[in-house]
Amino acid sequence: MKLVIPVVTVLVICLMISCSTTSDNTNPKTVAEDFFNVVLDGKQEEAFSHVLPQYRDAFRAALQHGFPPTFPKQADVTIVIKKNSEGKKASAKFHGGEEPHGFDMVFQDNRWWITK
């Protein structure tokens, strides 16, 4: 009985930590917001975890050339999802700066990815 309480406590703490750091990659708005927030925070490697691997080099280049522009931390996100013969695609637009900025997304491998 003495061991049950510490073991349960550790399990609850692990569950709380994993829930608090996990993002819903099946929701395009969540992926878009997470991506933009980590880019604005300067966490480039974390941002690349949201980008489809074949597009990561293009995003690295864009980040070196001034992406993102000056932008407020609290931007409104608009997501438009389209489904065609190639699957689900979306566009994400961020409003709140001087002009809207955005990128395209695709649903692949049971999650949303940033493409370009």
The CATH number covering residue 90 comes to 3.10.450
In-domain check, residue 72? yes
In-domain check, residue 4? no
**Global pTM?**
0.69
Q: What is the pLDDT of residues 57-71, one digit of tens each?
A: 988 888 777 666 555
What pLDDT, on a 0 to 100 scale, did the predictor assign at position 14? 40
Report the chain's terminal Cα–Cα distance, integer Å. Answer: 55
Torsion sign across C-alpha atoms 60, 61, 62, 66 = positive
In-domain check, residue 15? no
The structural domain count of the chain equals 1
What pLDDT, on a 0 to 100 scale, did the predictor assign at position 52? 93
For residue 88, the enclosing domain spans 26-114
What pLDDT, on a 0 to 100 scale, did the predictor assign at position 4? 46
Distances (CA, A) of 14 to 2, 11, 46, 68, 107: 20, 5, 21, 35, 29
Q: What is the pLDDT of residues 10-50, one digit of tens each?
A: 444 443 433 434 578 999 999 988 988 888 788 888 988 99
In-domain check, residue 19? no
In-domain check, residue 12? no
In-domain check, residue 14? no
